[in-house]
Structure 1
């Protein structure tokens, strides 16, 4: 499969990165006045940077970004508005818990992306130090989001 598989893989992660970028911005905006507002803004900014890094790596590998995957990522993120949270017209605490869980899963997937790219042969020309930094940052993002998720779950579920 080779290059075609890598193209599909990277574009699928680009779709996920797009969804994660919008979801993290939404969460940061919704919680801007809370004690977690600053941390969520930082995570959202980092997720946007990580997406740009992915695009740069795709370019370096000669992998074109497929617009339909980017649009699909945006649609997936918008689909979260249709889930039931026990309230018809407004958010509930459950909304934040589920969104934080979804964001954490996305960041977990991103960390696997960086691990996979680190496992490619050096001949691919990717900056291994940069990939390691991205992996370390993803792990820190996971810890940050997980702390918020746990706190939110305790609040919602008692």
Structure 2
């Protein structure tokens, strides 16, 4: 396998591990049942995308890199410590920043699918994979999280005055 493609896919696989961890944290902190359900469903979608990334790596002769995944997990844990310091409860800066990190990560997944769609014709093992549909799913996910980010940003950055 092309070393650059291997690294690119593994980087995204490692990042997605951090995303799953962050999404679970947000689900655990959710106060409302529908909010919790949103994050649980999003986590399932991201885990499905992780399976696809692993499949893509396997079809071109490589598995996931344990070292890169460990680095991704370490980065996720460090980020979570910073967010916890800011506070992950609704209305806190950490909750807003967690959603912002998630939006950026999902946008990264979107451009991953777009790039892979561009090169898929060069990789016979990827024939039949609908990268456009994967990209559309990422756009839908990003937009849904972006709505929550905007609400959280308003609460964190312009808090209601206490009476």
Same fold (TM over 0.5): yes
Q: Any idea what SS the aligned residue of 2:135 has? A: helix
> Which residues in structure 2 correspond to 1:1-158 (within 5 Å)?
3-31=2-30, 33-83=32-82, 91-92=88-89, 93-125=92-124, 126-158=126-158
- Report which structure shows greater RCO (CA 8 Å, sep ≥6): 1
Change (3 A) 1:27 1:54: same
Deviation (angstroms), 1:83: 1.7
C-alpha separation between the residues in 1 aligned to 2:7 and 2:66? 12
Structural RMSD (CA) = 2.0
Structure 2 gap ranges (5+): 159-163
Deviation (angstroms), 1:118: 0.0
Would you say how many aligned residue pairs link Structure 1 and Structure 2?
A: 155
What TM-score, normalized by structure 1, do the two folds share? Answer: 0.88
Change (3 A) 1:114 1:66: same
Q: Any idea what SS the aligned residue of 1:117 has? A: helix
Deviations 1:1-38 (A, max 9, x none): x8111111111111111111111111122116354222
What TM-score, normalized by structure 2, do the two folds share? Answer: 0.85
